Amino acid sequence: MIAMSCVAAASVNYAVTPPAIEAVLSKPASAGGIGPMHIPAAWLTILSRVGFAPNKVIHDRCTNIEAGAWVMAFDQMQSGLKAPAPSAPPSPVLPASAQAIDRPDAACIQGAAQFYHLPVALFSAVLRTEGGTVGQIHRNANGSYDMGPAQINSTWLPTLARSGITRGMVINNGCLNVSLGAWILAQAMTGADPHDPAQYWQHVGDYNSHTPKWNAKYASMVWHNLK
């Protein structure tokens, strides 16, 4: 018998209800797929990109349940997304809420996500992954630095300057910073197809890096911050 602790952990980690997981577990072996969660083999490559070891998905029951819950959660998240993400404007056209000062609140985050046609849950997960705060500067090994809640990289400053946005504004205006993060993420998500999970999460990873290793690592971190 599969330990209920595995179901409980998967439920908490991926916000999928235990009854929903148990319904999949109760399917007969004839339903096909890998392991107790009947995961289609095509998902193994995708799951490996977000941190699941394929061998464990196949052979370890708890890992299979976790991976199956991941697939269910992804399906739930993208169920309202019917088409690839639209193109973001080449320069930041900011929502009115971006003029707010100090720490961005939920309304600011939601407003920025909606303005740029981003899933609020996804954008919130990116912000949690970045973990920045108003006024914060994080120095990178390559000489650039990241600023504020959305950790806007300094390489964006010349582009932002053309729209009248200064370094100080990026660092100290929390809601503006978040809105810029939404604009940058929207550019990364341009053309992302919610019906192609591997491609979709590669676009998510592009917010941080286009290098495959770091792209996949970042996408995995965002997924685990998706609540």
Can you give the three-state secondary structure of 116-135, one letter per residue? Answer: CCCCHHHHHHHHHHHCCCCC
According to the model, what pLDDT value does residue 158 have?
A: 93
Does 172 lie in the same domain as 123? yes
Does 176 lie in the same domain as 106? yes
Q: 79 versus 63: which is more confidently predicted? A: 63
Whether the per-residue pLDDT at 101 is higher than 70: the answer is no
Q: If you average pLDDT over every residue of the chain, what do you get? A: 85
Tens-digit pLDDT profile for residues 13-48: 777 889 999 999 999 989 899 999 999 988 888 788
Q: Which domain holds residue 116?
A: 96-224
**Residue 25 located in a structural domain:** yes
**Residue 33 located in a structural domain:** yes
Tens-digit pLDDT profile for residues 105-159: 888 898 888 888 888 888 999 999 999 999 999 999 999 999 999 999 999 999 9
Does 162 lie in the same domain as 104? yes
**pLDDT confidence bin for 83, thresholds 50/70/90:** very low
Whether the per-residue pLDDT at 204 is higher than 50: the answer is yes
Number of structural domains, the chain? Answer: 2
CA-based nearest residue to 86, from 114, 56, 62 = 114
Strand-pairing partners, residue 152, are 147
Does 206 lie in the same domain as 123? yes
CB atoms within 10 A of CB 181: 28
Does 207 lie in the same domain as 103? yes
Does 177 lie in the same domain as 125? yes
pTM of the model: 0.66
